[in-house]
Structure 1
Amino acid sequence: MPGHGFRPVFHPAGHDHALRHALQDLRAGRWGEMARLLEETAATGHWDGWTRRTQVLATVAAGTDVVHAWRAEQPDSAAAAVMHGRVAVERAVRAHRAGHAGGRALEQEAWTACREAIERVPADPVPWIGLLALTALGARRPGAPHRVRPPAPMLPPGPWGLLAEAQRRDPYNREAYHRMLQFVYARSDGPLSEAVNYAQWAASGAPRGSALHVLPLYVRVERYRRDRGHEHALDLHWVAEDAVREAGRAMEDWFLFCAVPEASQLDLNHLAHALFGALRFPDAARVFEALGPYYTTAPWAHRTPRPADRTLAEEVFLRARARCLAD
């Protein structure tokens, strides 16, 4: 129930308390807990947790020299090599978004770091995911590399070989498919028909319990952001027949089968948002309950007149949560 005084919490670790502890150590300039966490994660043999944790750690480590210090202390560490690639990619992506003059040099550094990680740990999908992320930065450059024929009609040419390498190591890796989606977005500012086709293709081939069933919900939010603006909190975009169908499939083919504590907060927020928009309030309530105190600004920010204002995004989240949990 929507308790009085409930305040949502934004934290990249979410329910992952071990990751939270490692992030605290990392922010203090230490790498020991990160190394221990990744050693334990690698021992499980589950690439989904490895991918998620290395990605979150890199978002914090990219603003520090901690991974550099770790590699200096443990030059033979495979995990440190992977994190070096992660951090290099994160810095290149940030520089590209900010339009920094040195962005191309950072891209090359990241490319080299990922290739070195591939040589060090050939079975790891994460360095291949890093290469996928870098292709989106040059998606519109003439003669961009890694443009190959797509695996199905209605899909654009692109770095499908890189996606296949990640898929070979970890079938249906969530981040790999999201990185490919970012490439598709980057090809054009126009209609998102290619992205729609891609998300439907990815979801249709994914097994039950796969987070790829949430991909169409991301594309629907992006379509709204690009084409419809932010004038109305609820409009026909969210209750159209295909929108309701996409929300239902994500609920039935992913949420009901996934390990919720290990699920992406972004995926859970996109699903809660889609079910709320589709007026499926009881189903949305189950997702809000699974989220607990945690939330992400996206996609809620895109229902506000000022998406950069996190306070407005939080207000929309709280209203939606209260409405759904009131039933």
Structure 2
Amino acid sequence: MAHDNFRPVYHPAGHDNALRAAVQELRTGRWVSMRDLLAGTEGWALWTQRTQVLAAVAAGSDTVQAWLAEEPGSAAATVMHTRVSVERAIRAHREGHARTQELWQQAWEACGTAARRSPADPVPWVCLLALSQLDGRQRLEEHRLAPPGPMLFPGPWALLAEADKRDPYNREAYHRMLQFVYARRSDGSLSEAVNFVQWAASSAPEGSALHAMPLFVRVERYRRENGHEKALDLHWVTEDATRDALRALTLWFDHTPPAEASLLDLSHLAHALWGALKFDEAARVFEALGPYYVTLPWAYRTRSQNDATQAEEVFVRARSRCLSAVRDARGGPSG
């Protein structure tokens, strides 16, 4: 397909074809495909990813509740009920809904039930970490524990440790912790976020998605500084920015099959490499994305960060620029 005619596809399941089919069924109110998918899911990383996507789709319906009512002994249904409860509490908090406190309490209780029913599962602990961002003032003691290292902040470190114990370097657990950093102060200290992601990445093994986390904090700084409004945008070509992008490429991307990678991680890496003018390297990541696309971080390059069409246009331009560089280097057309 020629670049000029390329139109990206947005789908939360991305390369996961089995998940895409279950999502389609879930949107029509049917839960059997979700149950069967989760029954065949191997590995905590994939389990965490699939349950998160399914919960985001199911949060607006009673489908998971119907499953749990039909199969009250199902551990997977219990975990999905917890996921949906947490998703609803977070959405209510984001929207300033009057029922936020009530939904938070229900979600917290659901986490406890799921943790007792599935003691080896990291997801209940990931869910508790997700709820911690609702306690920005750190009123709960479990959200202001002493950190495990210097330059870090008081926070829900025991919850992260429990998730880590069950699935070391669980991607979502660490991203939930990053969200807590942003929520714990009115200004969401970026220096604390930088320290956290550097600490997390420093001990992560090759192939861990934690090596891409510094790219998320760099995008957040760009967003807060309204970088897209500056006539001379040097944010992405600095030595530090380029180093972060290349480290993510070599320590994470080069060791991870594209089908197993988060679309958000791939998107942030492609964006960072493109911004650093590393077009050949970025082209590899765009190729790994295939037809799929997510709005972030591309939306932060637009005047209206809520305009999905503008974000898509930025993505398509960046992709075309990088793939064209590879095509020109090879001396021929590229599909």
Could you say whether these structures have the same fold, taking a TM-score greater than 0.5 normalized by the shorter chain as the test? Answer: yes
Shift of 1:142: 4.0
The correspondence for 2:129, drawn from 120, 132, 148, is 132
Aligned to 1:74: 71
Aligned to 2:144: 147
Structure 1: 5+ residue stretches without partners = none
Aligned to 1:35: 35
The correspondence for 2:254, drawn from 245, 256, 260, is 256
1:170-209 to structure 2, matched below 5 A, reads 170-188=167-185, 189=187, 191-209=189-207
The correspondence for 1:273, drawn from 271, 274, 277, is 271
Q: Secondary structure at the match of 2:228?
A: coil
| Mapped contact 2:227–2:233 kept (Cα < 8 A) | no
1:1-327 to structure 2, matched below 5 A, reads 3-41=3-41, 44=42, 46-142=43-139, 145-188=142-185, 189=187, 191-232=189-230, 235-327=233-325
| Mapped contact 1:27–1:60 kept (Cα < 8 A) | yes
Distance change (3 Å), C-alpha of 1:126 and 1:95: same
| Mapped contact 1:85–1:114 kept (Cα < 8 A) | yes
Shift of 1:230: 2.7
Aligned to 2:332: none
Q: Secondary structure at the match of 2:236?
A: helix
Structure 2: 5+ residue stretches without partners = 326-335
Name the CA distance, whole Å, in 1 between partners of 2:53 and 2:39. Answer: 16
Please identify, of 2-11 and 135-144, the stretch whose mean Cα deviation from structure 2 is larger. Answer: 135-144
Structure 1: which amino acid aligns with 2:215? L
Name the CA distance, whole Å, in 1 between partners of 2:108 and 2:250. Answer: 38
Q: RMSD of the TM alignment (CA)?
A: 1.3
Distance change (3 Å), C-alpha of 1:238 and 1:205: same
**CA distances 1:146-170 after superposition (whole Å, capped 9, x unpaired):** 3111011000000000000000000
Q: Secondary structure at the match of 1:138?
A: coil
Structure 2: which amino acid aligns with 1:217? L
Name the CA distance, whole Å, in 2 between partners of 1:28 and 1:227. Answer: 42
Shift of 1:234: 6.8
Name the CA distance, whole Å, in 1 between partners of 2:71 and 2:114. Answer: 15
| Mapped contact 1:234–1:277 kept (Cα < 8 A) | no
TM-score (norm 1): 0.97
**CA distances 1:40-63 after superposition (whole Å, capped 9, x unpaired):** 00xx2x101000000000001100
Structure 2: which amino acid aligns with 1:52? Q
Name the CA distance, whole Å, in 1 between partners of 2:137 and 2:89. Answer: 16
| Mapped contact 1:265–1:291 kept (Cα < 8 A) | yes
| Mapped contact 1:128–1:166 kept (Cα < 8 A) | yes
Identity of aligned residues (%): 67
| Mapped contact 1:297–1:313 kept (Cα < 8 A) | yes
Shift of 1:2: 5.1
Distance change (3 Å), C-alpha of 1:233 and 1:257: farther
Name the CA distance, whole Å, in 2 between partners of 1:275 and 1:234. Answer: 18
Aligned to 2:328: none
Shift of 1:3: 2.8
| Mapped contact 1:217–1:270 kept (Cα < 8 A) | yes
TM-score (norm 2): 0.94
Please identify, of 223-232 and 150-159, the stretch whose mean Cα deviation from structure 2 is larger. Answer: 223-232
